Amino acid sequence: MAAQSETMEKIVALCKRRGFIFQSSEIYGGIGGFWDYGPLGTELKRNIKDCWWQDMVRNPPPGPDGQDIQMVGVDCSIIMNPKVWEASGHVGGFSDPMVDCKACKGRFRADQVFHVPLYRADANAPFAQLSVEADDEQGALAAAEARGTKLSKKHGGGTFVARPLRVSEYFEANATANKNLSCPKCDEIGTLTEPRSFNLMFQTHVGALQDVGSVAYLRPETAQGIFANFKNVMDSTRVKIPFGIGQIGKAFRNEINPRNYTFRSREFEQMEIEFFCNPKESMRWYEYWRGVRLKWYESLGIKSDKLRPREQTPDERAHYSSACIDIEYLFPFSDEPQELEGVAHRGCFDLSAHGKHAKGKEDAFAVIDEETKERFVPHVIEPSAGVDRFALATITEAYTMDEGRASPEFMRFHPRLAPIKAAVFPLVAKDGLPEIAEPIYRAIKKHYPVQFDAKQSIGKRYARMDEAGTPFCFTVDGQTREDGTLTVRSRDDASQTRIAKEGCLDYLRDQLGL
């Protein structure tokens, strides 16, 4: 765990130093749960979104029978009629159970505070207890260990066993008995309230009057814009069931406890597909999308041993969902894999809900299958991914430490995701070398993101490009003047070869495969 969080600290430092990610409004002390992407991070995120759009919407893999998949895209508004959120269940139900501390006013997610009694091996009653915030039991144990040792010393020393229990479960088992619970922040005992629901949607007002009638919400997911436009898309295009609608856009959730860097933010971007199909075919499509989405991450360099598909148990799934898989990734900040994407079989829940709320009939958005003449409300398979979580996974996956190199830290990005694809350097900023290098840079620039740099030692320039994850550097030197060749240095193994200076673009095309 310690080595893992050390890695995370190094990654966070590199991201700031090299302009991948900054704290939002940092000059004013920041604001919890909001992040800005710097020049390199912006390119990385754009590449992620472009790859997704290209691979899922414009050119999705062939279907289960080798058929073409029909996909189209939409780009919906962030603020929608609030009735959308009533129909979707977000206004009533989109909430996390929270506990508040009456002493320090801290607010915590009830499923992420652990009550940790400490026992001696031979005793039935705990000799002390504490509370910690953690994602899972492992994390709670790790967090409790150091403090437990201090408490143990205070009570005569010796070994002890910690038995963490989620506060939400504690309340389920003990009804209102909070008198033994301490606050994870101020340690006061008996000050935590019972868990209460807290709505995660950000509210705003539309128009000049700020009253109940003008309340609106920033969307907590992009999916509902797709459902609300289902009929518009069917009426305005030639798509027929089965088909999918994709959307990429911002979503906002007033997360109680944003943390783990960008992993849990209050403003983030989603890449969502709603795939509409015949109910009888829905499990086949569920399996198709599950496979497609897993392969997509692998194809962009996420190693399969860190990628963990986890089929949800019936207890975890929403009542209308007959299957759901979380695609999880093992981030360095946790011992447990964390969700990158959910692929859910949502049945006809959303279209029926909007049919009922908007048109008064659950089957208002039913379609007729032209071949079989069956009438049904389409079932939906929803692969829903987070751009920022994938960006973070990509960054942590790319981060490589090789003590054998002059500058040991470098980013091994997949070529499609690398923010900069190449750099062009004159070895020295004189002797006519910049004049040879500049046209090469300009020729590449028309096709790929590329940088030109003539300052500092060549070693420092390579190191900067390694940290940015640039796969190739072209260096013009004295020999270029004589025989027209230059050096290509590869990021991954720091190897160098010479090629003709006219061949840079073809070399990049070959090597990047783009």
* Contacting residues toward ligand ATP, per CB under 6 A: 221, 253, 255, 264-265, 268, 270, 339-342, 384-386, 388-389
Residue nearest to ligand ATP (CB): 386
Q: How far is the CB of 262 from ligand ATP (least distance, A)?
A: 7
Lookup: tokens for 186: 């101020």
Lookup: tokens for 454: 């003539």
Three-state SS sequence of 25-86: CHHHCCCCCCEEECHHHHHHHHHHHHHHHHHHHHCCCCCCCCCCCCEEECCCCCECCCHHHH
Q: Which is nearer to ligand ATP, 133 or 221 (CB)?
A: 221
Contact by Cβ (8 Å): 292, 406: no
Q: Which is nearer to ligand ATP, 253 or 416 (CB)?
A: 253
Q: How far is the CB of 422 from ligand ATP (least distance, A)?
A: 31
Q: How far is the CB of 94 from ligand ATP (least distance, A)?
A: 9
Closest Cα partner for 490 from 403, 417, 422, 402?
422
How far apart are the C-alpha atoms of 469 and 382, rounded to whole Å? 32
**Measured torsion, CA atoms of residues 105, 107, 110, 113, in degrees rounded to the nearest 10:** -80
Q: Which is nearer to ligand ATP, 95 or 400 (CB)?
A: 95
The amino acid occupying position 27 is I
Q: Which residue is associated with the tokens 């994390």?
A: 139
Name the pairing type of β-strands 379-386 and 267-277. Answer: antiparallel
Q: Which is nearer to ligand ATP, 293 or 491 (CB)?
A: 293
Q: Which is nearer to ligand ATP, 94 or 472 (CB)?
A: 94
Q: Which is nearer to ligand ATP, 80 or 512 (CB)?
A: 80
Q: How far is the CB of 255 from ligand ATP (least distance, A)?
A: 5
Q: How far is the CB of 334 from ligand ATP (least distance, A)?
A: 12
CA 286-288-292 angle, to 5 degrees, is 120
Q: How far is the CB of 59 from ligand ATP (least distance, A)?
A: 23
Q: Which is nearer to ligand ATP, 274 or 409 (CB)?
A: 274
CB atoms within 10 A of CB 460: 13
How far apart are the C-alpha atoms of 493 and 342, rounded to whole Å? 36
Q: Which is nearer to ligand ATP, 340 or 463 (CB)?
A: 340
Q: How far is the CB of 200 from ligand ATP (least distance, A)?
A: 9
Residue 328 makes CB contacts below 8 A (sequence gap 6+) with 307, 308, 309, 310, 337, 338, 339, 340
The amino acid occupying position 513 is G
DSSP assignment of 335-396: SS-EEEEEEEEEETHHHHHHHHHHHS-TTTT-EE-TTT--EEPPEEEEEEEEHHHHHHHHHH
Contact by Cβ (8 Å): 479, 452: no
Contact by Cβ (8 Å): 268, 388: yes
Q: Which is nearer to ligand ATP, 246 or 426 (CB)?
A: 246
Q: How far is the CB of 268 from ligand ATP (least distance, A)?
A: 4
Q: How far is the CB of 391 from ligand ATP (least distance, A)?
A: 10
Q: Which is nearer to ligand ATP, 7 or 95 (CB)?
A: 95
Q: How far is the CB of 466 from ligand ATP (least distance, A)?
A: 28
